A and B are shown apart, each in its own frame.
Chain A
């Protein structure tokens, strides 16, 4: 079965600082996809990024970037120049081959103005 660990429970940063959210995963699948979702106080999970396991090239999309390292089973997510609107709970997720998602326990990010 898939397993996702987010060791950081809560993080606070001052606005405009960069922040990295950690995610470590376990799977026996040879190919897989990893996801990050954001959950604001309203409760809806908002899709942020998807990454496949056979391409370790790190990417940047606007203020978001991610660092995928298969050797350490990590999929870290960075927000550059954080804003107050980034305050939310962030979840890393790993689906099985049936597309049933396994989520970590989440990291609560607070951006202080």
Chain B
């Protein structure tokens, strides 16, 4: 196990609702990244947080937002849910040393279904 935890494990929402997903990073890691994985696809980068600041964002609309707390845990918030938001949401923690060399360790994911 990586020590990265996510909650909840499963979630069902209806279109237009809002959702908050949570992630606790591995001990000692100061960076959290969020990914969306649609069925049959590879994970797509949503955004990354380093020391409570957003540190890069993928091609996702502003209704995807996040937070990182002083203990480096993180939340992903999605407003105005759409059917296409149904996916597995993965959180990963790492150390921010730059250079694209740090291994990211993933949590078990949250499966979101939007009806």
Which residues of A are in contact with B by a Cβ distance under 8 Å? 4, 29, 31-33, 35, 37, 42-47, 50, 52, 91, 94-106
Contact = CB atoms under 8 A, between A and B. Distances in A.
Contacts of B33: 99-101
Contact of A97 (B31, B100, B111): B100
A33 B55 contact: no
A44 B106 contact: yes
Nearest to B9: A43
Interface in B66-115: 88, 90, 92, 94, 96-109, 111
Contacts of A106: 41-42
Contacts of A97: 98-100
Contacts of B92: 45, 101
A98 B48 contact: yes
A99 B102 contact: yes
